[in-house]
């Protein structure tokens, strides 16, 4: 009986050490650049469109071992799209900003709270209108890191924004129709999984990233649009004090 108790205690200690020990990866502060190549689908009143694109996202981490700010964003940039019979040659411009304050609850896992802001502006020549919007909402973030052999790290991230609030503003170029404002509600989720390679300058990551965004008009409950995509990314992080 005594031997069994000792074995149980040893097993419990081993599990506790694995979960709460100091073997977790120590993250450094950094500034970085992520290059994201994505393929996805866009659905709205005009139907379904498929496309692909490449975009840069600026990255940064500032803080200590347990508490840290993380920033991610892309300035408003134009993304050429294939011409549509309904919209014409639409060239949307989009900007994204994510900011979270994260707390490492155990060496490998941290949780965070912050905000997501999405700006977009899309000329629709066939409809003689320009649609622009800004959506913002509370962001929940979950981050897991696992040290691997040969100075590598497994990194997983999940971001959830249950509700974004904002408005679509329709401006017409016919000189007759006044601007129209439609209140909008949306939700967004994004996830990534990557392998990090430690370098003399900091770290390089290679991985997969996926995202899903859906919106609807609050006054009518009708669907606005939905965007989903997945793709590869490479990220370079420069360590800073």
* Predicted TM-score (pTM) above 0.85: no
For residues 171-194, give the mean pLDDT: 94
113, 101 in Cβ contact below 8 A? Answer: yes
Average pLDDT over residues 98-113: 96
Tell me the sheet residues that pair with 38. Answer: 53, 231
Q: Which domains does the chain have, with CATH numbers?
A: 23-239 (2.40.128.90)
Share of the chain above pLDDT 90, in %: 59
pLDDT digits (tens, 9 = 90+) for 188-225: 999 999 999 998 889 999 999 999 999 999 999 888 88
Q: What DSSP character marks residue 50?
A: E
Stretch 165-182: mean pLDDT: 92
How is 153-192 classified by DSSP, letter by letter? EEEEEEEEEEEEEEEEEEEESSSSSPPEEEEEEEEEEEEE
The percentage of residues in the chain with a pLDDT greater than 70, rounded to a whole number, is: 82
Give per-residue pLDDT as tens, 63-73.
999 999 999 99
Is residue 80 pLDDT above 90, yes or no? Answer: no
Contact 168, 224 (CB under 8 A): yes
């Amino acid at each position: 009986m005594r031997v069994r108790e000792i074995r149980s205690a040893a097993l419990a200690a081993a599990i506790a050490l694995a979960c709460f020990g100091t073997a977790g990866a120590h993250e450094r502060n950094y500034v970085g650049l992520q290059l994201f190549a994505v393929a996805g689908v866009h659905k709205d009143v005009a139907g379904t469109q498929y496309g692909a694109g490449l975009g840069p996202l600026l990255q940064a981490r500032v803080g200590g071992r347990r508490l840290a700010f993380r920033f991610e964003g892309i300035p408003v940039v134009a993304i050429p799209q294939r011409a549509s019979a309904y919209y014409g040659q639409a060239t949307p411009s989009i900007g994204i900003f994510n900011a979270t304050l994260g707390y490492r609850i155990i060496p490998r896992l941290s949780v965070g709270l912050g905000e997501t802001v999405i700006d977009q502006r899309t000329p629709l020549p066939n409809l003689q209108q320009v649609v622009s919007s800004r959506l913002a909402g509370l962001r929940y973030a979950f981050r897991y890191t696992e040290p691997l052999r040969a100075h590598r790290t497994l990194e997983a991230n999940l971001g959830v924004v249950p509700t974004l609030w904002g408005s679509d503003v329709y401006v017409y170029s016919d000189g007759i129709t006044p601007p129209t404002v439609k209140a909008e509600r949306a939700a967004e989720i994004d996830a990534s999984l990557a392998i990090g390679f430690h370098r003399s300058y900091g770290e390089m990551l290679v991985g997969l990233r996926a995202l899903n965004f859906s919106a609807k008009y609050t006054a009518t409950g009708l669907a606005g649009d939905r965007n989903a995509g997945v793709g590869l990314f490479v990220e370079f992080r420069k360590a800073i004090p």
